[in-house]
Amino acid sequence: MAVPGKVAAFRLPPLPTVGEIIKLFRLKAQKQLSQNFLLDLRLTDKIVRQAGELKNAHVCEVGPGPGGITRSILSAGVEQLLLIEKDARFVPGLQMLSEAAPGKVCIVHGDILTYKMEKAFPKHLKKNWEDEPPDIHIIGNLPFSVSTPLIIKWLENVSKKDGPFIYGRTQLTLTFQKEVAERLTANPGGKQRSRLSIMSQHLCTVENCFVIPGQAFVPKPKVDVAVVHFTPLVQPKIQQPFKLVEKVVQSVFQFRRKYCFRGIETLFPESGRLKRTEQLMMTANVDPTLRPFQLSMSHFRNLCNTYRKMCDEDPSLFAYSYREELRQRKKTRNLLKSTSQPEQTEEENQL
């Protein structure tokens, strides 16, 4: 008998196991989509717990597949659950879960990379950026092929306060290859310190929650998987446009084993490259003999702020692309080769 004055906890009715759902609908993980199923509900419960308190929350699950994490989210007592699934084969099994939780589940057959998250949740859930995070969570066991482009896209959304972050500082709980998770959370000097470390940590508090051994998945991937939790910061650590920060960080890590001077000089055209690189490093107070992975967040902040001033003085600078310069140089070299070849042959024929 329910205790008076207390709302009874939501419980899913008896359902086929996730393994039985896979057999019932003849589901098979597709290698080209880098799909791996998690069948152990103790692990799916543990993932969902990392998201925090979900009772009466609105949740979006990315790539629910056969619905293991979906069950754990529903059991946490959410108000509404939005499922975004690209693979139509999983929709019938998810509909079975939807029928078991009337009025709670909305299934969208679509691609999370193109789905408009601005309209995913009710407007009344919006909070000011400075306030506590809204009662909205994004959870997902991401395919390896999607995880990095998706988190970069969402980090840009955090920077612009749009997409799922139009509602405030929406929290994310996502799975990544263990190595990618280590890059996301790496400290200065760490072997895994990379572009991802700077781009994520300057915008979010990033926590590597726990590791799931590869053998827990079906089929078993060659690597272990880690669960990572993101909470957007009220103030980014580098207060410059996302694309500018991304360009500086990418340039620095272009030659990660060399001195950082080597990567930073790729920000500038060949004409005046050395002088401008020295000017940037001196003004930003960065030791040119440090390796990229040794640079701290304050180093990157100084580099971005100084580079921004240089771009303001020379608006053509931001549009410059080192790779494009290399492509053009190679094209010219090939063109010269092709035009000089017939002359050489003609000379040989004369001889």
CA distance 176 to 178: 6
Report the chain's terminal Cα–Cα distance, integer Å. 106
Q: Assign domain 242-336 one CATH number from 3.30.2130.30, 3.40.190.80, 1.10.8.100, 3.40.50.1370.
A: 1.10.8.100
- CA distances for 131 relative to 9, 127, 138, 232, angstroms: 28, 6, 18, 11
**Percentage of the chain with pLDDT > 90?**
77
pLDDT digits (tens, 9 = 90+) for 178-237: 999 999 999 999 999 999 999 999 999 999 999 999 999 888 888 999 999 999 999 999
Band of residue 102 on the pLDDT scale cut at 50, 70, 90: very high
pLDDT in tens, 308-345: 999 999 999 999 999 998 888 888 888 887 766 554 44
pLDDT at position 351 over 50: no
Q: Where in the chain is the domain with CATH 1.10.8.100?
A: 242-336
Pair of tokens at residue 111: 């691609």
Check if the beta carbon of residue 194 is closer than 8 Å to that of residue 186.
yes
What is the Cα–Cα distance from 107 to 7, expressed in whole angstroms?
26
Instruction: Provide the pLDDT for residue 37.
Output: 84
Residue 110, SS3? Answer: coil
- The architecture that CATH gives domain 24-232 is 3-Layer(aba) Sandwich (3.40)
For the segment 130-183, what is each residue's pLDDT rounded down to a tens digit? Answer: 999 999 999 999 988 899 999 999 999 999 999 999 999 999 999 999 999 999
Residue 231's DSSP bridge partners are: 205
Report yes or no: 167 and 120 within 8 Å, Cβ to Cβ: no
- The torsion angles phi and psi of 232, rounded to 5 degrees, stand at -60, 140
Model pTM greater than 0.85? yes
CATH 3.40.50.150 domain locations along the chain: 24-232
- Spatial separation of the C-alpha atoms in residues 24 and 67, rounded to whole Å: 13
Range 113-117 average pLDDT: 94
Average pLDDT over residues 91-120: 94
**pLDDT tens-digit profile of 258-300?**
999 999 999 999 999 999 999 999 999 999 999 999 999 999 9
Please report the pLDDT score of residue 350 as a whole number.
34
Give pLDDT, residue 274.
Answer: 97
196 marked ligand binding residue: no
Residues 64-83: pLDDT tens digits? 999 999 999 999 999 999 99
Instruction: Supply the pLDDT for residue 19.
Output: 67
Residue 345 phi, psi (nearest 5): -65, -40
Sign of CA dihedral 312, 315, 318, 321: negative
The response to whether 36 counts as a known ligand-binding position is yes
User: Which pLDDT does position 348 carry in this prediction?
Assistant: 36
DSSP 49-92: HTT---TT-EEEEE--TTSHHHHHHHHTT-SEEEEEES-GGGHH
- Is 65 within any annotated ligand binding site? no
- pLDDT, residue 330, reads 85
- The single-letter code of the amino acid at 135 is D
At 4, the pLDDT band (50, 70, 90 cuts) reads: very low
Non-local CB neighbours of 235 within 8 Å, separated by 6+ positions: none
Consult the annotation and say whether 85 binds a ligand: yes
12 is in an annotated binding site: no
Residue 38 counted as an annotated binding residue: yes
Sign of CA dihedral 47, 209, 144, 159: positive
Which tokens hold the place of 154?
A: 């969402």
**Which pair of structure tokens corresponds to residue 278?**
């020295």
- Nearest 5°: phi and psi at 38? -110, 110
